[in-house]
Structure 1
Amino acid sequence: MRALCFALLLLAGCAPAAEGARGGIVSLNPCADQLLVALVPPDKIAAISHYSQAPGATSLPLAVARRFRATAGTAEEVIALAPDLVLATSFTPPATRAAFARAGLRTLYLGSPTTIAASQAQVVEVATAVGAEARGSALNRRIDAAVAAQRADQAGVPALLYISGNLANGGGTLLTQLMALTGFRNAAVDHGLTVTGTLPVETLLARPPAVILSPDAGGRTAALRRRLLARTGARVREVAFPRALINCGGPTIPAALARLRAIRAQVAA
């Protein structure tokens, strides 16, 4: 993770665009933000999303994200920047899409990949759109190497990955695939949870996992969960999993795999 942060700092080694600057690329999504930082020189980035400058939402080191101008993602803000390209999401409201279309903005609407292959396809899609095919290919090679380095056992240790509070990662997600590759079985699937959803502590007590992965070890919900599990005598190991590794794929995948594999080795020991 430290190496990733250092590389991103090097890529972002210039000041934010001047207030009057026009053109460049505007991103409205934190996952697109990190892709841009990995793929293009900083002077091509007109603005990133405000999410990347918030500790609970970013997949970039905050020191990197805060070097760029950020927008709240309103159509008025984006149109005023007159960007060459807008990276938005498939969840962009119809009214905002229509405003971008009326303004003649070239816009790429990105989905939320649920597999490594889909994430790599998105890397290619964005790299092609921004003219950074070589960097996109290099990034996908790093992802391939990180995946190839995994040697998961078939059974898998049952684990729950909480995103925030009682919100857990369910089946059919990129995180679930990463967990499987590193020797974990997503226990949320046992409770019928798909994608993401709430998994109350009462449900958890009925069938505790071997491991809980959480970015909120110091949070009130995590503390309550910990106390209640302790009363049952359940042997559940709680390990920190950084929030920055939860939100996105792409450049995050190698770092997330490395952290999960380290946790798996810790559990085995």
Structure 2
Amino acid sequence: MLRASLLLLAAGLSGCAQPQVARGGGGIVSVNPCTDAILMRLVPHARITAISHYSQDAAATSIPLDLANRFRATAGTAEEVVALAPDLVLASSFTPAATREAYRRAGLRTLFLDVPATIEQSEAQVREVAAAVGQVARGEALVADMARAAAGHRPAGPAPAALLFITGDLVTGGGTLLDDMMHHAGLRNAAADYGLSYTGTLPAELLVARPPAVIIAPDKGRSSGLRARLLPETRTASFDRMLVNCGGPTIIPAMARLRAIRAGLS
């Protein structure tokens, strides 16, 4: 959800010399790829001891790979994280109880973060991370950028129905951050109309019977070809894979792309 937009997003960071990344002891360890993206906007790179290995995977990252590859990455195991002795660990609320206990026993300061389902929740999460890393002003600046992206022009008239595929035949339904972004861009989430919540797959028969105005997808693989054969009259639009994984700063280029898609349907 672009690569050019994300590079612009990171320009303030990548325009300087390659950071001297901490290699153990102190600093911040993020085992959550979404907080990796937030950290890139909030703190000097030298404060980041390690990021999630997902950020070095093209299918899961929300930051450019050349930036992610400058950092040590962990698989998020308790052993790896405890050995780094960080000042702060940023993790997911889905972290297993045993891992949480290992962090506690090691005396690590931890922040467990939920998956935001709305732009407003993502803004609140940025503020939470900013407070934890002592960068409130930078957090507010990022939130302001996100709010401006969300508050852009929404075309008048009925919202066209759109299906946004995350990968393959997996589509985003109602109650998700992508669903909220589609709404702000002036698009109606057809998957929510079909009754799908969160993410899942849809029967081909349903798509043929009630086709959307546009199909948005990040790939051109086998599933994309099948959809083109089933719905030859339905418009398609590309959406970079990096835009579907997280909120935070990713919302800015994602909203720009969704608005461009909506403008093309007018």
- Tell me, yes or no, if structure 1 residue 223 matches structure 2 residue 244: no
For residues 83-111 of structure 1, give each alpha carbon's deviation from its aligned partner in whole angstroms, at most 9, with x where no partner exists: 00000001001111111111111010000
Residue in structure 1 matched with residue 234 of structure 2 by the alignment: 236
For residues 176-196 of structure 1, give each alpha carbon's deviation from its aligned partner in whole angstroms, at most 9, with x where no partner exists: 111111121000012110011
SS in 1 for 2:205: helix
Residue in structure 2 matched with residue 164 of structure 1 by the alignment: 167
Residue in structure 1 matched with residue 191 of structure 2 by the alignment: 188
- Tell me, yes or no, if structure 1 residue 17 matches structure 2 residue 21: yes
Residue in structure 2 matched with residue 29 of structure 1 by the alignment: 32
User: Deviation of residue 255 (structure 1)?
Assistant: 0.9
Residue in structure 2 matched with residue 142 of structure 1 by the alignment: 145
In the alignment, the residues of structure 1 paired with residue 236 and residue 5 of structure 2 have an alpha-carbon distance, to the nearest angstrom, of: 26
For residues 45-93 of structure 1, give each alpha carbon's deviation from its aligned partner in whole angstroms, at most 9, with x where no partner exists: 0000000011110000111111111011111000000000000001001
The answer to whether the 8 Å contact 2:130/2:139 transfers is yes
Residue in structure 2 matched with residue 118 of structure 1 by the alignment: 121
The answer to whether the 8 Å contact 2:22/2:47 transfers is no
Question: Pick from 19, 37, 41: which aligns with 2:44?
Answer: 41
Question: Pick from 58, 66, 74: which aligns with 1:55?
Answer: 58
The answer to whether the 8 Å contact 1:166/1:200 transfers is no
Residue in structure 1 matched with residue 262 of structure 2 by the alignment: 264
Question: Pick from 207, 210, 213: which aligns with 2:213?
Answer: 210
The answer to whether the 8 Å contact 1:241/1:259 transfers is yes
User: Deviation of residue 204 (structure 1)?
Assistant: 1.5
AA of the residue aligned to 2:30: S
The answer to whether the 8 Å contact 1:11/1:37 transfers is yes
For residues 98-146 of structure 1, give each alpha carbon's deviation from its aligned partner in whole angstroms, at most 9, with x where no partner exists: 1111111101000001111111100110000000000000011111222
The answer to whether the 8 Å contact 1:75/1:100 transfers is yes
In the alignment, the residues of structure 2 paired with residue 136 and residue 68 of structure 1 have an alpha-carbon distance, to the nearest angstrom, of: 22
For residues 150-187 of structure 1, give each alpha carbon's deviation from its aligned partner in whole angstroms, at most 9, with x where no partner exists: 22435200000001111110001111111111121000
The answer to whether the 8 Å contact 2:5/2:253 transfers is no
The normalised TM-score by structure 1 is 0.93
Residue in structure 1 matched with residue 247 of structure 2 by the alignment: 249
Structure 2 unaligned blocks of 5 or more:
none
User: Deviation of residue 202 (structure 1)?
Assistant: 2.9
In the alignment, the residues of structure 2 paired with residue 126 and residue 252 of structure 1 have an alpha-carbon distance, to the nearest angstrom, of: 15
SS in 1 for 2:264: helix
Alignment: residue pair count: 262
Query: Structure 1 residue runs of 4+, over 6 Å off?
Result: none
AA of the residue aligned to 1:148: A
The answer to whether the 8 Å contact 1:26/1:46 transfers is yes
User: Deviation of residue 205 (structure 1)?
Assistant: 1.6
C-alpha change, 1:7 and 1:146, in structure 2 (3 Å) is closer
User: Deviation of residue 206 (structure 1)?
Assistant: 2.0
After TM superposition, list the pairs within 5 Å mapping 1:47-126 onto structure 2: 47-126=50-129
Residue in structure 2 matched with residue 198 of structure 1 by the alignment: 201
SS in 2 for 1:100: helix
CA RMSD, 1 decimal = 1.5
SS in 2 for 1:121: helix
The answer to whether the 8 Å contact 2:173/2:191 transfers is yes
In the alignment, the residues of structure 2 paired with residue 81 and residue 203 of structure 1 have an alpha-carbon distance, to the nearest angstrom, of: 50
C-alpha change, 1:84 and 1:261, in structure 2 (3 Å) is same
